[in-house]
Amino acid sequence: MYAVIEIKGKQFRVSEGDTIAIPRCATEAGKKLAPDRVLLIGGDEVKIGTPEVKGAKVDLKVVEHTRGPKIRGFKYKPKINYKRAWGHRDELTMVRVEKIKA
């Protein structure tokens, strides 16, 4: 069984036992977390929400807080001595999918 969930405006396809990286949330490690919306439940029978699947629930557990890979950006315009560089790392929360309930 799998589900498509929405957390902080981003959608993820998850199955039981998966570990995914979501945008940073304030929940402490080891605590439970609920997604904003469950958009689809799949398996033997597919249930598509309009916009949410009624009664569906996905249990998530926060594993750790971490940072993503370093992203580097660079702008350059030839002949006019224009160069700009920047970079950042996303703040992420690793969560494990405990249970999908339809």
Q: Where are the domains of the chain?
A: 2-101
Give yes or no for residue 5 having a pLDDT over 90.
yes
pLDDT of residue 87: 97
Contact (CB, 8 A) for 97 and 16: yes
Radius of gyration of the chain, Cα coordinates, nearest whole angstrom: 18
Classify 38 as helix, strand or coil.
strand
C-alpha triplet 5, 14, 16: angle, nearest 5°: 120
Given pLDDT bands bounded at 50, 70 and 90, which one contains residue 102?
A: confident
Q: Which tokens go with 17? A: 């036992």
pTM value > 0.75: yes
